Amino acid sequence: AVGRLPEALLHQLKGRGNAVSCALHAAEAGVQGARDGIAATFELMEQRFWEPAHGLYADEATPDWQVGPYRGQNANMHACEAMLAAHAASGEARYLDRALTLATSIAQRQAALADGLVWEHYKTDWTPDWDYNRDDKTNIFRPWGFQTGHLTEWAKLLLMLERRLGDAAPDWLVPTARRFFDTAMQRGWDATHGGLVYGFAPDASWSPPPAGTQSSPQGGHVGLGSGPAPDMEVCDADKYFWVQAESLAAAAWLAVRTGDNAYWQWYDRIWAYAWQHFVDHEHGAWYRILAPDNRKVTDEKSPAGKTDYHTMGACQDVLAALGIQPPAKDAS
C-alpha cells in the first residue's frame, strides 16, 4: 500500500511537474533533448496520474504504479505551473489547455467546496478531507488548514494563465486571483510582528460537515457546512521563507494587472519584512523558517528540496510581471 512505503520509493506527481520545469530551463539554455523530456514527462503524467472524470491529477503511486488514495491540491498547483512553463517552451496548445483545466478544477470547482478558498486535502472522489493532518503540525508539506502561501501562489498562477491565454482568458481569473490574495493578506498577515503566517483555519467551534452531506464536485456543494461561514483563526503562526517570496511576486502581478496601488503597498511591505528578518545580509540567501515573533528557529537556508527556487523564482516573476526580459546570454 502507498501509505506503508517510504516516500522516496513513491512515484510522485509533484516531482514530475518539477521535472517539466527543469526541462524548460534546460531547453532555454540550449540543452539538446530537453524539449523531448518535457513531452515525455507530460505523457507519463497523463498515463499514470490523470483522472479525467475530475480534471485533476492523483498525487502518488507505488513503484508498480498503483495509485494511492490521497488527493491534494498542492501537486496540481505545481502541475499547472509546469504546464505554463511547458507552453512557454514549446508553444503547444495542449499544455495551456491542461493548465486551464487544472486552474478551473481547483480555483473554481474545488474552491466552491471550501467557501471560495483552496482547501489542501481531498479523498479519492475529490470531496474535501477536512481532518487530514488536523492534529499533526509536524507535516509541513501536507499541513491542515488553508495555506497563506498557496493562496497567493495560485493568485500569481491565475494571472500568468490569463496573460498567456490572451483574449481567450475566462473572466473569472482576475477576480479569483484578487480574492485569494486579499483573503491571504487579511487572514495571514501578522499585525503585531509582521510577516505572513503559514496557515489559518476555521476556529475550534467549527465541525466539518457530517459524512455524506458533503456533495461530490460533480454536484452541488455545502461549503464549510450548511450554517454561517465559520470564523477563521491562525493554526500555524510560524513564518516560512517561501510564503513571503511567493506573496510578494503575486502582489507585483496583481499591481501590474489591476493598476491598484494597494498591491504595490503589499509588495513593499512584504519585501521590507523579508529584507529585515529573512535575508542573511552577511552570507546570502534567506533563512528557512522564523518563529511567530521572528526569532530564527534554525540557521538553515536553501533547504534540500526547495533550495532557492521560491526566492529566485519570485525575482524572475516580478520581472516577468513588469515585462522585463533578462539580458541575452553571451554566446561567446
Catalytic residue among 11, 54, 150, 277: 150
The answer to whether the CB of 185 falls within 8 A of the CB of 266 is: yes
CA angle, 7 then 141 then 240, to 5°:
140
Calpha distance 114→91 (Å, rounded): 34
Residue 283 falls in the annotated catalytic set: no
Among residues 11, 78, 87, 310, which one is catalytic?
Answer: 310
The 3-class secondary structure across the chain, one letter per residue, is: CHHHCCHHHCEEHHHHHHHHHHHHHHHHCCCCCHHHHHHHHHHHHHHHCEECCCCEECCEECCCCCECCCEEHHHHHHHHHHHHHHHHHHCCHHHHHHHHHHHHHHHHHHHHHCCCCCCCEECCCCCECCCCCCCCCCCCCCCCCEEHHHHHHHHHHHHHHHHHHHHHCCCCHHHHHHHHHHHHHHHHECCCCCCECCEEEECCCCCCCCCCCCCCCCCCCCCCCCCCCCCEEEEECCEEHHHHHHHHHHHHHHHHHHCCHHHHHHHHHHHHHHHHHCECCCCCCEECEECCCCCECCCCECCCCCCCHHHHHHHHHHHHHCCCCCCCCCCC
Contact 11, 65 (CB under 8 A): yes
Cα dist from 90 to 54, 62, 149, 160, 195, whole Å: 26, 31, 29, 16, 38
Active site residue 310: yes
Asked if 99 and 111 touch (Cβ cutoff 8 Å), the reply is no
Residues that are catalytic: 150, 310
